[in-house]
Structure 1
Amino acid sequence: MKQPKWTLLLLCGLLLTTLTACGQNDNKANNSAGNKSAASGKETTAALKDVKVVLDWSPNTNHTGLYAAKEQGFYKEEGLNVDIVLPGSGGADAMVASGEVPFGVSYQESVTQGRTQGVPLVSIAAVIQHNTSGFAAPVDRSIKSPKDYEGKTYGGWGSPVEEAILKSVMDLSGADVSKVKFINMGEADYFTAVKRDIDFAWIFYAWTGIEAELRGEPLDMQYVKDYSDKLDYYTPVLVTNEKTIESDPELVKAFLRATSKGYQYAIDHPEESADILLKAVPELDKELVVASQKWLSPKYQDDAARWGEQKREVWQNYSDWMHERKLIESPLDTDRAFTNDFLPEQ
């Protein structure tokens, strides 16, 4: 599962790809029969409308509902042959924004920053209702609260948002972020880094936290949402682009009807849906996938009226926070950044 990060280079690549690919992708949603998925290896069916959805990262339990919708035939019921593909070098956001693919997995933070720079992404569903990310440390580091970050070494990727979130939770706890040493983790994973040269890092508990449990390496974790409502944002989300919404709204509705059923299946059947993900991506660790799925399935919908529902105040709160900390140059037009209009009724 991708750690929370995005850089200036990624955003520049996103904008460049959007500009250069504009006007070249009118027929991308209808791929020729026989095209195969990088993630699943399944051949398309000519009688169905071929549609691609690009993942944000390698397949994991954030994506189980997509695989369940495909395996259970929910996409076929909507007349769709959905191809689940891995992101190219430019990233999933660039592929969706440019129209290369109509749907993808993204994050509220990157949609927010992209839209303030003219990137035409629109969030159409929240995959998980509440932010499951936070700062984690092995229990032997005795980090029980943000105050304990002082004097410790944080491992990250050099993104401005990391320090801003770290500063926010420390400020709210009366702690001083200037007393934290920052190290770039590079390509090292969390478990390697904490044994090498860091004390804590930003993780998603549903994957790295569960893996720590299975390894017998317990963590102390501070979820960022517990320190401010502004940090309880949607991560990840499903996105499309403005052109797809304008030109083929029925496709967006059909895709979400089936995808909603897929995530509902994963909510109701964690172990069976874990098996579906493992069938599609057999190289994943079975024990980790099953344990992660059991932990995450109840959190897809959580306290929302329906899976995928997004609240305006969540988008407004987080974009206000980003603007206050100069992570975005201008305020977000919140009502254009997301929509619930294509979700099926309860």
Structure 2
Amino acid sequence: MKKWWFVWVAMALASLGMAQQNLVKVNLQLKWFPQAQFAGYFVAKERGFFKEEGLDVTLLPVGDQSPIQVVQSGAADFGTTWIADLLTAREKGIPVVLIAQMFQRSGFTLVALKSTGIKDLCKDMKGKSVGVWPSGNEYPVVALFRKCGLTSSLDAKVSNPDVTAVSYPFDPALVFPNRVQLVSAMTYNEVDQIVGLGYDESKIDIFKLADEGINLLEDNIFTTERVLNTPNFKNSGLSGREVAARLIRASIKGWDWAVKNQAETVEKYVLPFCGNTCKGSGTRSDAKSHQTWQMAEIAKLYNAGATTKGWAGFLVPADYQASVKLLKEQGILTKDPPRQTVDYGPWEQATGKKAADYK
């Protein structure tokens, strides 16, 4: 009996070893440096949710590059990006496909010192300088300018713009408040950095673009038509669609866990990943405090909209159409994106739900 028991254990261990060897290698290109913005993916990796799906996922930090360029080149299989960036890339002929929408509300804001007297963006921005980000991250602000009927220096055809846009590389301390009166800031990152520069919340006004009708969602998961249509992804025996579905399923599991266990997520899974980027420039306290702030704000963006109805990762068609309509109205898009721009198939396979059933 003991002999057979040892044989069974040996076979089980051998099977486990083969399973480990047969994990499908996947590169997921993150939109920014490691931080709590990507907590769900860190959790999915470290708690084995990706592995349970047969995936060996490498999380690639991108810095200030465009994840779309990296995924298009084939250096990564999947990526995370903002919907405006994805839609404008698609109009340029880049065959990217949105397959899941993790954040259900935009975290994009403009921040001003109360002393500037800016109370209404559309009425008070004229004649002001506004800090904007490059590489496709400026689209929400461009949409706001145009929605307010204001010209900006981002348009080379305008000789005397209403608003001067100052492009800066993501550190508000470089331009705010000495060079610009308004500065781009995500609720989960730069807002805390600005407070850390000595401007606490009693001294600043935070204008959430979602409240201004510019709810261009951030942090979706995307890939390319090439990956989705691959019948044998990296000789794994799985189609690209099956790999996409597994990635989505594990990512949702990771995000659900991260949002429900924020303190442990920051301590165990965010801080070890983010290294030198944990603290951020100008933050008011240590790295742990900044990432705790970030995790709490990120949780608000994830745990909203469709997620609250049990449809995490789902791109609500009405939200998508509203984004397309807004970008077309502002001339950022010139036509409707092709039907293939959003593919609900992998999400449906991952969750067992049907997009048509959403209410």
Q: TM-score range by the shorter chain?
A: 0.7 to 0.9
For 1:277, the equivalent position in structure 2 comes to 270
Given that residues 169 and 227 in structure 1 are in contact (C-alpha distance below 8 angstroms), is that contact kept between their aligned partners in structure 2?
no
Structure 1 gaps of 5+ residues are 1-44
What is the distance in 2 between the residues matched to 1:51 and 1:156? 33
**Structure exhibiting the larger radius of gyration computed from Cα positions:** 2
Matched residue, 2:27:
52
Matching residue of 1:246: 229
Whether 1:234 aligns to 2:217 is yes
Partner of 1:255, secondary structure, is helix
Whole-angstrom CA distance in 1 between matches of 2:161 and 2:69: 37
8 A contact 2:133–2:184 mirrored in 1 = no
Per-residue Cα deviation, 1:194-237 (whole angstroms, up to 9, x for no partner):
13211112221111113334555133121122122xx2122121
3-state DSSP of counterpart to 1:282: helix
Q: 1:164, 1:185 → 2: CA distance?
A: 12
- Superposed, 1:257-272 pairs within 5 Å as 257-272=249-264
- The amino acid of 2:190's aligned partner reads T
Matched, 1:113 2:117: no
Counterpart Cα distance in 1 of 2:44 and 2:229:
25
The answer to whether residue 343 in structure 2 is matched with residue 339 in structure 1 is yes
Answering whether residue 142 of structure 2 is matched by residue 164 of structure 1, we say: yes
Runs of 5+ in structure 2 lacking a partner?
1-19, 153-159, 231-238, 280-286, 354-359
Shift of 1:121: 0.7
Alpha-carbon distance between aligned partners in 1 of 2:141 and 2:243, rounded to the nearest angstrom: 39
Contact 1:54–1:105 (8 Å) recurs in 2: yes
Secondary structure, counterpart of 1:274 in structure 2: helix
- Runs (4+) of structure 1 exceeding 6 A deviation are 175-179
Q: TM-score, normalised by structure 1?
A: 0.77
**CA–CA separation in structure 2 for the residues paired with 1:342 and 1:238:** 11
Hey, what does 1:143 align to over in structure 2? 118
Deviation at 1:186, TM superposition (A): 3.5
SS at the partner of 1:238?
Answer: strand
The residue number in structure 2 matching 1:76 is 51
Shift of 1:54: 0.8
Q: Structure 1 residues 215, 266: closer, same or farther in 2, change over 3 A?
A: farther
CA distance in 2, matches of 1:318, 1:116: 14
Question: Amino acid of the residue matched to residue 194 of structure 1?
Answer: F
Residue 307 of structure 1 aligns to a residue whose secondary structure is coil
Q: Secondary structure at the match of 1:342?
A: helix
Matched, 1:205 2:205: no
1:292 to 290, 294, 299: 294
Q: Could you say which residue in structure 2 is the equivalent of 1:194?
A: 176
CA distance in 2, matches of 1:318, 1:117: 17
CA RMSD of aligned residues (A): 2.5
CA contact (8 A) 2:27 2:57 kept: yes
Q: CA deviation at 1:94?
A: 1.6
CA shift in 2, pair 1:176/1:186, >3 Å: closer
Superposition deviation, residue 322 in structure 1: 1.9
Structure 2 CA distance for partners of 1:267 and 1:345, relative to 1, 3 Å? farther
SS in 1 for 2:76: coil
Alignment-mate amino acid for residue 334 of structure 2? E
Amino acid at match of 2:97: V
Shift of residue 130 of structure 1? 0.8
Q: Give identity over the alignment, percent.
A: 20
Equivalent residue of 2:229, what SS? helix
* Cα distance change on mapping 1:227 and 1:183 into 2, 3 Å: closer
Cα distance in 2 between the residues matched to 1:281 and 1:295: 17
Match of 1:303 in 2: 305
Normalised by the length of structure 2, the TM-score is 0.75
The superposition leaves residues 288-318 of structure 1 with CA deviations (integer Å, 9 ceiling, x where unpaired) of 1111101221320312132211022222222
